[in-house]
Amino acid sequence: MNDKDLSALIRMAMEAERLEEPAPLRLTWARPEREETAARLRTMVTGIATLAAAACLGFAALVWMKPASPTQPLAHQGGATPAPEVSEATVPVVELAKAEPEVGSVIMAVFRDADDRCSCIQINEADFKGRLSEVGQAEILRTALANACHENPRQVLVIAMQGPRHELPSTTAEAELLAAAIHEEANSCADDAMCISSRAVAYIPSSVTVLTSTMAY
């Protein structure tokens, strides 16, 4: 075996190692413009395995609750946009600070019924003031349970996430993927919130803060 083949083998071994590195949940095939691809992929695996039907989403409803969009600034109305006045004076160049990414919060609640089946998953976009760690537990749970999609659950698993908006699930496809992944972990964690949380972070970008909680009835 010559050195080129050995080098190729070594490179392949290193690449294979990287396969096991956790990828951010925002899988490229879950982005809005690729929902068609995601749907195509799910159709493909239906005959093999159904991602979204990880014992939960196959028959469960995913409820996406979004707050009303903030009012956009009025666009300039009437006539052409006035040309800016140009001063002949030297304008100092000001280097703008890099804008901080906009931060958002999302609360995912997985409702299980008395038969231990996942009956529905609800996602609420929250508008918390301050860091997630400073938000009271009660407020997080209140947000999670607002307009609950299940009236009498046996258990509710709540996953609160806060981070750059672009890192949070923003489409149904992304939310389903995250929910399916976390639900799969939840099944193997025997309802242990710490276990679920530690597994869940593998599917969520490192820039996102994660809190989990379970409520049992």
Partner 1 sequence: MTASARGVPGNNFSGRRGTPPGPAGMSSIAFPMPDDLPQPLAASLPKRDQSLQHLTLRAAQGDQEAFAALHQRLGGGLHRLFMERTGGRTELADDFCQKTWVAVWQALEGGKYDPERAAISTFVYAVGYRVWLQHMRSAGRARAHLDAAAPGMAALGLSEDPAAGSRLAEMIQIVRDCLSGKIDCGLSEEERWILRASTSGVTDRDLAKRLGVAASTANTRKQAAYDKLRRHLEKLGHRAELPGQNDAGGE
Residues in region 41-70 near partner 1 by CB under 8 A: 41, 44-45, 48-51, 54-55
Whole-angstrom distance, CA of residue 113 vs CA of residue 111: 7
Rule CB under 8 A: say whether 215 interacts with partner 1.
yes
Which of 126, 132, 168, 186: binder of partner 1 (CB under 8 A)?
A: 132
Rule CB under 8 A: say whether 102 interacts with partner 1.
no
Rule CB under 8 A: say whether 114 interacts with partner 1.
no
Which of 35, 37, 125, 164: binder of partner 1 (CB under 8 A)?
A: 37
Q: What is the Cβ-side half-sphere exposure of residue 61, based on CA atoms within 13 angstroms?
A: 6
Rule CB under 8 A: say whether 214 interacts with partner 1.
yes
Burial of 66 (0-12, 13-18, 19+ CB in 10 A): exposed
Whole-angstrom distance, CA of residue 34 vs CA of residue 166: 15
Please list every residue from 174 through 203 that binds partner 1, using CB under 8 A.
Answer: 177, 180-181, 184, 188-189, 191-195, 197-199, 201, 203
Cβ contacts of residue 149 below 8 Å, gap of 6+?
A: 61, 63, 111, 119, 120, 121, 122
Rule CB under 8 A: say whether 11 interacts with partner 1.
yes
